[in-house]
């Protein structure tokens, strides 16, 4: 399932990110592509070890930690430090599947990519092309969000970024290892949690059916979660 999360960053935060990213050094993204992806990847990235990437990445992680929709959708156990890329001048990323296991540089930590995330930092009208196309069970879904918004999609899916023919498409991207490895189970838990949250606004907090549903949610989570 493809889940969008609006306003992970506020317009003011996006502006601060953009100002900082404008003056930094961008390098050829091919340096960090896996061997299969290298032929299809044409973009720019900033050095993951730069103080700017670390600072902005940590800011995103702090925002996500307080985002209930993200927590509900991803049930994260580990998050790969956010990276930053820029597509311009026809830059694109052809169809590929993300690597399954990602070692966090400079550590012995490995993140299994269950979910891929793209957080848009350019407004949709700043550039032409640059759509994220994700192949799913119901065909190809096209994603182009407003600055500050984020999409989560299964890392197992074939996806691509179409050529950017005008302007610049700047984004942050990263991967999440979930407590719930199975996409179907994760989707069921998300749907159940969303319904419980909606009912919480309509029913008394101690409504017996609401308590029962909340119990079902946590007992499914207990049954399926890997820590
Ligand atoms: Ni990818």
- Reported as a single tens digit per residue, the pLDDT across 19-31 is 999 999 999 887 7
Position 30 scores a pLDDT of: 78
Do 140 and 197 belong together in one domain? no
Tell me the β-bridge partners of 117: 152, 174
Number of domains in the chain: 2
- Indicate if the pLDDT at residue 47 is higher than 80: yes
Do 191 and 90 belong together in one domain? no
Distance 227 CA to ligand 1 centre (A): 25
Contact (Cβ atoms closer than 8 angstroms) between residue 45 and residue 85: yes
Query: What letter does residue 8 receive in the DSSP assignment?
Result: S
**CATH number where 24 lies:** 2.60.120.620
**CATH number where 214 lies:** 4.10.860.20
Distance 161 CA to ligand 1 centre (A): 8
Do 97 and 13 belong together in one domain? yes
Band of pLDDT at residue 39, cut at 50, 70 and 90: low
Position 56 scores a pLDDT of: 98
Distance 120 CA to ligand 1 centre (A): 14
Quick one: average pLDDT of 73-83?
98
Handedness of CA 45, 97, 172, 130 (dihedral sign): positive
Do 105 and 196 belong together in one domain? no
Quick one: average pLDDT of 82-89?
97
Distance 199 CA to ligand 1 centre (A): 36
Query: Do the bridges between strand 115-120 and strand 110-112 make them parallel or antiparallel, or are there none, so unpaired?
Result: unpaired
Do 137 and 154 belong together in one domain? yes
Distance 49 CA to ligand 1 centre (A): 20
Distance 224 CA to ligand 1 centre (A): 27
Do 125 and 188 belong together in one domain? no
Do 30 and 51 belong together in one domain? yes
Q: To the nearest whole number, what is the mean pLDDT of the chain?
A: 95
- Indicate if the pLDDT at residue 80 is higher than 80: yes
- Indicate if the pLDDT at residue 38 is higher than 70: no
Distance 12 CA to ligand 1 centre (A): 28
Rounded to an integer, what is the distance from CA 53 to the centroid of its chain?
16
3-state secondary structure of 47: coil
From 142, 163, 178, the end of a domain falls on 178
Scanning the structure block, which residue is given the tokens 């119901």?
138
Contact (Cβ atoms closer than 8 angstroms) between residue 127 and residue 167: yes
Do 216 and 152 belong together in one domain? no
Do 218 and 121 belong together in one domain? no
Do 111 and 189 belong together in one domain? no
Position 7 scores a pLDDT of: 98
127: domain range?
3-178
Do 35 and 147 belong together in one domain? yes
């Amino acid at each position: 399932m493809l889940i969008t999360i609006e306003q992970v960053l506020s317009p003011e935060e996006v502006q601060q990110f953009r100002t900082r990213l404008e003056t930094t050094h961008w390098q050829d993204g091919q340096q960090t592509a896996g061997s299969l992806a290298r032929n299809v990847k044409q973009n720019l990235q900033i050095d993951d070890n730069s103080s700017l990437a670390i600072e902005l990445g940590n800011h995103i992680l702090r925002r996500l930690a307080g985002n209930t929709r993200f927590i509900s959708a991803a049930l994260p156990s580990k998050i790969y430090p956010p990276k930053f890329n820029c597509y311009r001048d026809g830059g694109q990323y052809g169809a590929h599947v993300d690597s399954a296991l990602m070692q966090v540089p400079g550590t012995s930590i490995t993140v299994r990519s269950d979910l891929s995330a793209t957080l848009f930092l350019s407004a949709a009208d700043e550039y032409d092309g640059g759509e994220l196309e994700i192949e799913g069970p119901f065909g190809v879904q096209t994603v182009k969000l407003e600055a500050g918004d984020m999409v989560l999609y299964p890392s197992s899916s074939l996806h691509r970024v179409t050529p950017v023919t005008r302007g610049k498409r700047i984004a942050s991207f990263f991967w999440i290892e979930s407590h719930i490895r199975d996409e179907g189970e994760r989707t069921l838990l998300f749907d159940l949690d969303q319904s419980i949250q909606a009912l919480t606004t309509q029913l008394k907090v101690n409504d017996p059916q609401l308590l029962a549903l909340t119990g079902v949610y946590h007992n499914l989570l207990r049954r399926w979660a890997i820590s």
